[in-house]
Amino acid sequence: MQHQRHRRTYVAVAVIAAVLSIAAVGCGSDKSDGASSTTAKDASTTTTAPIKAPDKLTIAYQAIPNGDLIVKQQKLLEKALPDTKIEWKLFDSGGSVNEAVVAGNVDLGLAGSSPVSRGISNGIGYRVVWIHDVIGDAEALAVKPDIKSIKDLEGKTIATPFASTSHFSLLAALNNAGVDPSKVKIIDSEPDDIYAAWSRGDIDGAYVWNPNLAKIKASGGHVLITSADLAKKGQTTYDLGVASNKFLDAYPDVANLWAKAQDQAVQLIQDNPDDAAQIIGTELNISTDEAKAQLGDLIFVRAKEQAGPDYLGGKLAENLLAAAQFNKEQGEIDKVQPASTYDEAVDNAFAKHAGG
């Protein structure tokens, strides 16, 4: 049975690789201005055209069970761009990804919608080009058994990564319940450190995401509210793919390849969840069953739908503006930019290309 499961995985991944090979086939390179030129073949015309690609592509990722880990674990970009060195850098939160983009250390990255909203508000030179997932039950406020309501959090110690979607959701939950955040001891901590603090009994709860949320729940924590609950109140959060303006302007074809790879990973999640869970479980060092359960807590959207008005084509920019306004009210940012700034920072062209 295990042998059969591996075989199904290899078949599914082969399908992804085949689709990518339509867009890019490594057939040598011509160096020009420090960039490699990868030959691409259009399956319908069998003609070739050069794709300008960098010598090195640096991608910021997080340990979140979504399609980005499939792209990484199966080396889909490495196969599509054999002349480009692909460097994957692990980050603990979107706030850290923002800092890396500002420093010029990454080209592409994953960050939650709240830190992205802050980044746009603060003038970071990047655009949102993909939605890795819509956050549902994968992020939640898990607390000790004696805490029965949001109001019970007064005087308690709650951990969350500051400037993250979890931080945004925690503040939103307190605001909705009429609880003054200053009456809760909210501490800044990264996900792995949060679980360690929970295990030591140093905190009363945490707003955090999987896989550390699942670990807290498994060790006695119970959930008061999830990001899915907050989405019903209009406070939806996302894990987003961002790319620096410099990279997008220089290598749009590579961004198209990346979006195509992400879309095929989402297709695998939707069509073959067992195989997708096995791949993600390998990357996160958790069981296939655990990975499948965590995948079920997120909502995944294919490229064609992402490019439309409900997502990258309209409503996401509205969501980012609303998040900025909320963060301003909470004193988390100094200024909200004009609505046009958030519109211009969301680019649906690459998802539209990937959706064909």
pLDDT per residue as tens digits for the range 1-26: 433 444 444 444 554 554 454 344 33
- Angstrom distance (rounded) from CA 228 to CA 235: 9
At residue 346, the 3 state secondary structure works out as strand
As a whole number of angstroms, the distance between CA 131 and CA 242 comes to 9
| Dist. CA 340–CA 344, nearest whole Å | 6
285 & 181 share domain: no
**Sheet order of strands, 298-299 included:** 85-90, 56-61, 108-112, 237-244, 126-135, 298-299
CA dihedral 250, 254, 260, 263 (to 10 degrees): -70
Q: Which of 18, 31, 9 is nearest to 264 (CA)?
A: 18
Per-residue model confidence as pLDDT tens digits over 232-275: 999 999 999 999 999 999 999 999 999 999 999 999 999 999 99
Average confidence (pLDDT) over 305-309: 98
In three-state secondary structure terms, 272 is coil
Residue 163: pLDDT band (50, 70, 90) is confident
Judgement on whether residues 128 and 18 belong to the same structural domain of the protein: yes
Note whether 191 and 322 are same-domain residues.
no
Q: Does residue 91 contact residue 59 with C-beta atoms inside 8 Å?
A: no
Domain shared by 168 and 278, yes or no: no
Question: Which of 231, 249, 275 is where one domain is finished?
Answer: 231
129 shares a domain with 9: yes
B/e letters for 22-42, b = 16+ CB within 10 Å, e = fewer, are ebbbbeebeeeeebbbbbbee
pLDDT at 88 over 90: yes
Q: What is the CA radius of gyration of the chain?
A: 21
Are residues 167 and 280 both part of a single domain? no
Q: Do residues 29 and 36 make contact, with C-beta atoms less than 8 angstroms apart? A: yes
Amino acid 4: pLDDT: 42
Helix (H) or strand (E) holding 223: strand 222-226
- The reported pLDDT for the residue numbered 188 is 96
The per-residue pLDDT for range 215-224, each reduced to its tens digit, is 999 999 999 9
Q: Are residues 102 and 148 in the same domain?
A: no
Q: 28 falls in which pLDDT band (50, 70, 90)?
A: very low
pLDDT at 24: 43
pLDDT higher than 80, residue 300: yes
Residues in the chain: 356
Structural domain range at position 85: 2-134+238-355
CATH code where residue 253 lies: 3.40.190.10
Residue (of 79, 101, 83) closest to 257 by Cα position: 79
pLDDT above 50: residue 150? yes
The residue from 231, 250, 285 where one domain ends is 231
**Which residues does 305 contact at the CB level (< 8 Å), separation at least 6?**
311, 355
* Tens-digit pLDDT profile for residues 329-345: 989 899 999 999 999 99
299/327 same-domain check: yes
Q: Which of 202, 231, 260 is the last residue of a domain?
A: 231
pLDDT of residue 49: 64
Mean pLDDT computed over 94-101:
96
Q: How many CA atoms within 13 Å lie on the side-chain side of 166?
A: 30
Please say if the pLDDT value at position 284 is more than 80.
Answer: yes
pLDDT bucket at 42, cuts 50 / 70 / 90 = very low
- The whole-angstrom separation of Cα 66 and Cα 54 is 26
**β-pair type (237-244, 222-226):** unpaired
d(CA 2, CA 146): 42
Q: Which helix (H) or strand (E) covers residue 158, if one does?
A: strand 157-160
Domain check: are 223 and 247 in the same one? no
How many separate domains does the chain show?
2
23 and 121 in one domain? yes
Q: Say what the pTM is.
A: 0.85
Are 255 and 297 within one domain? Answer: yes
Position 16 scores a pLDDT of 55
Q: Do both 143 and 84 map to the same domain?
A: no
Q: Name the residue among 129, 139, 142 with its Cα closest to residue 164.
A: 139
